[in-house]
Amino acid sequence: MTDLLPSTTRALDRLAVEAQVTSRTPALVAGVARRGTLVWSTAIGAADLGDPSVPLGDNTQFLVASNTKTFVAVQIMQLRDEGKLSLDDTIDQHVPSAHTGVTIRQMLSHLTGMQREPVGDVWDTLQFPSRDELIDGWDGAQRVGRPHDHWHYSNLCYAMLGELIARLDGQSWESSLQRRLLDPLGLTRTTLSLQAPHTQQYYVPHYTDVPVREPLIIKGAMASAGSVCSTLSDMVRWHAFLLDPDSSILSPDTALEMRQPQAMVDGTWAAGYGLGLQLVRHEGRTWFGHTGGLPGGITGFFSEASSGTTGAVLMNNSAAKDPAGTAVRLGTYVETHDPLAPTPWVPGTEEPPQLKPLVGQWFSEGAGFIFSIREGHLEARVEGAPATTPPSIFEQQDPDTFRTVSGREQGELLVVRRRPDGSVRQFNWATYRFTRDPLGFGEPTPE
């Protein structure tokens, strides 16, 4: 592990114990990683109260439950990038059903308005549908709200996404997961059933401190909604991939797209949802990831993109508390109290002559902008914006046309307008006029 300050490790140890006490969980494993490398981890309690020989640590499997949805979402995005579907396709275009108008994008982001669970009292009977029963049940399921009216979590939709993946890949969802993600990423301790060493699952009743064994749920066709079992080490490796994916497996642009907010959860700005990823705002940072909950398995894994930091917690009490908050607090503590040293500035090596007339201060709508050359590209920042605000980056398409490839106005064109002598008179970015002097909308540009 990378060294942290002794004061940092003491504080993290304390936060982990506080979480274990608050959740009354027989076992807790927690960790913080930087770009896939654990810098701290701890294991508290016992994996199996009936067998003290079962080890508890970074390699012990827990039920990570709905963290499964992050894998499903990546599989869907891979299929999209392969041209096999569009996010705005409706599910009935691929899986014929009575429900129309339910788009894949809505399903990824829990914006369909479809009911939460499959038909039948599955969490009472603990009997989950087969693939045929899932499709029949989907036809009979209710759309309990209007699409995009509000965020409404739906395990049923993720089960149907698993069915969609199976049909487009011509194999079971489980086989697709193994082939597309688990094998290429070397996630050997991430499986669809518990593999030793693993925790036992418990519930600690409200009015006693004696844990009760929980049943192990077999989810059938609902597997893609929450059946993955994994470890701290593997899930940290998974989040390293989500932070910086191997482009042969997933485009980095697609990973960034998945982190873009699609909805606010419960109408608050503290929590949102992207494409298969939960989003948490905490102390000025946005963390992405997911929580998971099954009988005897409560987990949370969240990463912050700019720092590459991941916070993680795994617990084995059905009633364990606040996995998202615990994971985010652990990661935030490291970034606040023990941040990495900044990357040294490195001089550029290229100053394209065609860009030099565009650098310096420009004005639009009364605001100042600074255009400069960095790593041979033109970039722009709003004057006075926080240093953490990413610049707009441009790629030249022809001598007087640039495309904004990232940052403010991404996708828009910047077109250079010249005087008869070839000097730059102004340019138009997303059609807005930029001039060397601050001008009102009705004032002409000096010739």
DSSP per residue, 252-307: HHHHHHHTS--EEGGG-SSEEE-SS-EEEEETTEEEEEEEEEETTEEEEEEEETTT
CATH number for the region 6-337 comes to: 3.40.710.10
**Residues in a beta bridge with 129:** none
Per-residue model confidence as pLDDT tens digits over 233-256: 999 999 999 999 999 999 999 999
Q: Return mean pLDDT, the chain.
A: 96
Counting residues of the chain whose pLDDT is more than 70, the rounded percentage is 100
**Residues in a beta bridge with 311:** 32, 302
Per-residue model confidence as pLDDT tens digits over 334-354: 999 999 988 898 999 999 999
Residue of 310, 329, 332, 333 lying closest to 321 (CA atoms): 329
Residue entry with tokens 């709003």: 382
Question: What predicted TM-score, i.e. pTM, was given to this entire model?
Answer: 0.94
* Residue 41: pLDDT band with limits 50, 70, 90: very high
When pLDDT is averaged across residues 149-162 and rounded to a whole number, the result is: 96
Residue of 433, 432, 430, 431 lying closest to 444 (CA atoms): 433
Q: What are phi and psi of 357, to 5 degrees?
A: -65, -10
Q: What is the per-residue pLDDT for 388?
A: 81
Per-residue model confidence as pLDDT tens digits over 401-422: 999 999 999 999 999 999 999 9
Q: Establish whether domains 6-337 and 356-434 are of one fold.
A: no
Per-residue model confidence as pLDDT tens digits over 177-195: 999 999 999 999 999 999 9
* Residue 437: pLDDT band with limits 50, 70, 90: very high
Q: Using an 8 Å Cβ cutoff, are 240 and 252 in contact?
A: no
Calculate Rg over the CA atoms of the chain: 25
Domain boundaries, the chain: 6-337, 356-434
How many angstroms separate the CA atoms of 92 and 32, rounded?
41
* Angle (deg, nearest 10), helices 232-243 and 68-81: 30
**Degrees, nearest 5: CA angle 111-103-270:** 25
When pLDDT is averaged across residues 126-138 and rounded to a whole number, the result is: 94
Give residue 151's identity as a one-letter amino acid code. W
Residue 268, pLDDT > 90, answer no
Residue of 273, 362, 275, 359 lying closest to 324 (CA atoms): 273
Taking the CB of residue 387, how many other CB atoms lie within 10 A of it? 5
The pair of structure tokens assigned to 163 is 């069915």
Q: Using an 8 Å Cβ cutoff, are 123 and 153 in contact?
A: no
Fold adopted by 356-434: Lipocalin (2.40.128)
Residue 1, pLDDT > 70, answer no
Q: What is the per-residue pLDDT for 2?
A: 60
Per-residue model confidence as pLDDT tens digits over 76-111: 999 999 999 999 999 999 998 878 899 999 999 999
Residue of 116, 89, 114, 109 lying closest to 99 (CA atoms): 114
Residue of 257, 236, 240 lying closest to 299 (CA atoms): 236
Q: What is the per-residue pLDDT for 436?
A: 96
Q: What is the per-residue pLDDT for 97?
A: 82
